[in-house]
C-alpha cells in the first residue's frame, strides 16, 4: 500500500498571494509551516487506512519548502530541484494512488495565483485537451496506471480536477475571490477535512480510473509572447505553429512530452521583459 503525495503551495489553506509562496517575501515562513501541517494530516489519514509507504514530493518553485524536521516521521520526502519529472518525480507503477495537495487552477482561469508552470505559459495541450499542472501530472500518473484519488487546493483546482477525473475526491480549502484574494477556512479546519477526506479517497480509490494519456501525444504550448516561443523552439524537434505563439512537439509518450515541457518553459524564461 504505497501512496504518492505531490504538494504544491499556491493552493494551501490561507495563502492569498505571492507574499506567501515566494521565499524572499515576509509571509513565506508561515506558509511553509502550514504547508507542512497540511502534508502531515494527509499522511496521518493514509496511515489510518493501512498505508505502508508514503512518498512526499515537494512540488513548488525551488521544491525545498516543506520543513523536513516537522514532517511526519513515517513519510519519506523528495526535496530540492532540479528533478527530471519535477512535480511527479519518482511516481511509478508501484503506487496505489496519487494525491495532489496545495494545487491551483491552470493559466487563464479564475483561481488564486492561477498559472501553468511559469507565467510565460498561456495554455498547454496534449493533443486537443487543454491542461494545466494538475492535468499533466495526472497524465503521468495515468501512464503508470496510478489514479489520482484526491486533489486539495482552492475551488478552482477542485473544479479542474472534477472535470478531468470522474469520481475523484476533492477538498477546497479556500475559495478564490480574485487571483490574489481568498475566502479561506482556518488551517485547523482544513486539516480536519483533509484527514477525513483522504480516508474517503482511499476507500473510493477503485472508483477512480487512471487518466490514461494518448499514445504518441502531441504537446503544444502556447506562450504569452513570441519571444518566449522563439526561445522554447530552440529545443530540437519543436516548431512554432505559423502565426501563433504555439510551440509544437511530437512525443513518443507522455514522459517525453513532460520533459520536453520542462525544457521549453525553462528556455522561455530566458526572455527579458521589454
Ligand atoms: Zn507552486
pLDDT digits (tens, 9 = 90+) for 55-83: 999 999 999 999 999 999 999 999 999 99
pLDDT digits (tens, 9 = 90+) for 160-210: 999 999 999 999 999 999 999 999 999 999 999 999 999 999 999 999 999
Distance 226 CA to ligand 1 centre (A): 24
Cα separations in angstroms, 255 against 86, 121, 160, 234: 11, 19, 22, 20
Question: What are the start-end ranges of the H helices in 131-225?
Answer: 133-143, 155-164, 187-203
Categorize the per-residue pLDDT at 272 as very low, low, confident or very high, splitting at 50, 70 and 90.
confident
- Torsion angle in degrees (nearest 10) through CA of 212, 217, 223, 229: 150
Distance 167 CA to ligand 1 centre (A): 25
Mean pLDDT of the region 225-243:
97
> Does the annotation count 115 as an active-site position?
yes
pLDDT digits (tens, 9 = 90+) for 1-32: 999 999 999 999 999 999 999 999 999 999 99
| Residue of 115, 143, 186, 197 with catalytic role | 115
Distance 180 CA to ligand 1 centre (A): 14
Amino acid at each position: 500500500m504505497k501512496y504518492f503525495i505531490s504538494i504544491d503551495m499556491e493552493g494551501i489553506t490561507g495563502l492569498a498571494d505571492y507574499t506567501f509562496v515566494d521565499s524572499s517575501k515576509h509571509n513565506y515562513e508561515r506558509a511553509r509551516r502550514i504547508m507542512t501541517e497540511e502534508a502531515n494530516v494527509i499522511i496521518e489519514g493514509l496511515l489510518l487506512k493501512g498505508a505502508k509507504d508514503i512518498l512526499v514530493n515537494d512540488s513548488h518553485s525551488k521544491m525545498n519548502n516543506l520543513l523536513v524536521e516537522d514532517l511526519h516521521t513515517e513519510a519519506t520526502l523528495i526535496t530540492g530541484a532540479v528533478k527530471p519529472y519535477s512535480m511527479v518525480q519518482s511516481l511509478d507503477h508501484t503506487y496505489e494512488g496519487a494525491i495532489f495537495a496545495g494545487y491551483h487552477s491552470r493559466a487563464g482561469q479564475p483561481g488564486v495565483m492561477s498559472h501553468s508552470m511559469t507565467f510565460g505559459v498561456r495554455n498547454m495541450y496534449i493533443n486537443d485537451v487543454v491542461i494545466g499542472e494538475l492535468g499533466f501530472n495526472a497524465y503521468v500518473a495515468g501512464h503508470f496506471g496510478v489514479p489520482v484519488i484526491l486533489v486539495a487546493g482552492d475551488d478552482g483546482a477542485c473544479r479542474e480536477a472534477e472535470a478531468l477525473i470522474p469520481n475523484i475526491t476533492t477538498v477546497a480549502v479556500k475559495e478564490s475571490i480574485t487571483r490574489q484574494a481568498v475566502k479561506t477556512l482556518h488551517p485547523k479546519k482544513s486539516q480536519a477535512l483533509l484527514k477525513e477526506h483522504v480516508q474517503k479517497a482511499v476507500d473510493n480509490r477503485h472508483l477512480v480510473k487512471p487518466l490514461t494519456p494518448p499514445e504518441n501525444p502531441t504537446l503544444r504550448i502556447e506562450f504569452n509572447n513570441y519571444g518566449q516561443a522563439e526561445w522554447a523552439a530552440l529545443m530540437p524537434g519543436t516548431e512554432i505553429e505559423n502565426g501563433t505563439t504555439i510551440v509544437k512537439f511530437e512525443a513518443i509518450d507522455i514522459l517525453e512530452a513532460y520533459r520536453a515541457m520542462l525544457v521549453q518553459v525553462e528556455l522561455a524564461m530566458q526572455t527579458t521583459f521589454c
